[in-house]
Amino acid sequence: MKRLFLVSLLFSTQALGGDFKGDLDRDADRIRVDHPEIAARVDGMSPLKNRAGMLAFPGGDLVDPRAQVLIQDRLLDGGDDALVRTALAYALDDAHRIPWAVAAELEPKVRAALISGYKKAGDADALAAFESALQDESLVVRVEAARLIGYRPDLVSETLLQGLASALSDQEADVRRFGVRSVSWRQDPGGFDRVEPLLGDASAQVRGAAVRALGKLDRERAAALPELQALSSDADPRVKRSLKRVLSP
pTM metric for this prediction: 0.86
Task: Give residue limits of the domains in the chain.
Answer: 1-96
- Please tell me the predicted confidence (pLDDT) of residue 26: 96
The per-residue pLDDT for 12 is 42
pLDDT band at 122 (very low <50, low <70, confident <90, very high): low
Tens of pLDDT along 167-199?
999 999 999 999 999 999 999 999 999 999 999
HSE of 167 in the Cβ direction (CA atoms, 13 Å)? Answer: 39
Average pLDDT of 204-211? Answer: 96
Cα Rg of the chain, angstroms? 21
Q: Flag whether pLDDT at 13 surpasses 50.
A: no
pLDDT confidence of 119, banded at 50, 70, 90?
A: confident
Phi, psi of 56 (to 5 degrees): -150, 160
Residue pair 159/133 in contact by the 8 Å Cβ criterion: no
Q: In which band, very low, low, confident or very high, does the pLDDT at 123 lie, cut at 50, 70 and 90?
A: low
pLDDT band at 249 (very low <50, low <70, confident <90, very high): confident
The confidence score (pLDDT) of residue 121 equals 66
Does residue 5 register a pLDDT over 80? no
**Mean pLDDT for the stretch of residues 118-127:** 79
Report the b/e string of 109-118 with b at 16+ CB within 10 A: bbbbbbbbbb
pLDDT tens for each residue of 158-173:
999 999 999 999 999 9
Report helix, strand or coil for 84. helix
Q: Please count the residues of the chain.
A: 249
Measured between alpha carbons, how far is 138 from 175 in angstroms, rounded to an integer? 11
Query: What's the CA gap between 144 and 4, in Å, rounded?
Result: 36
218 secondary structure, DSSP code:
H
User: SS3 of 55, please?
Assistant: strand
Strands, E assignment, 85-169:
none
Instruction: Give residue 103's Cα distance to chain centre.
Output: 12
Share of the chain above pLDDT 90, in %: 80
Given a cut of 60, whether residue 61 has pLDDT beyond it is: yes
Q: What is the mean pLDDT of the chain?
A: 90
Rounded CA-CA distance 208/82 in Å is 34
User: 64-106, pLDDT tens digit by residue?
Assistant: 999 999 999 999 987 899 999 999 999 999 889 899 999 999 9
* Residues 135, 153: Cα–Cα separation, whole Å: 18
Residue 10 pLDDT class (50, 70, 90 cuts): very low
**Cα(83)–Cα(89) distance, integer angstroms:** 10
DSSP E strands in the chain: the ranges are: 48-49, 55-56
pLDDT at 3 over 60: no
CA distances from 115 to 93, 138, 186 (A): 12, 13, 18
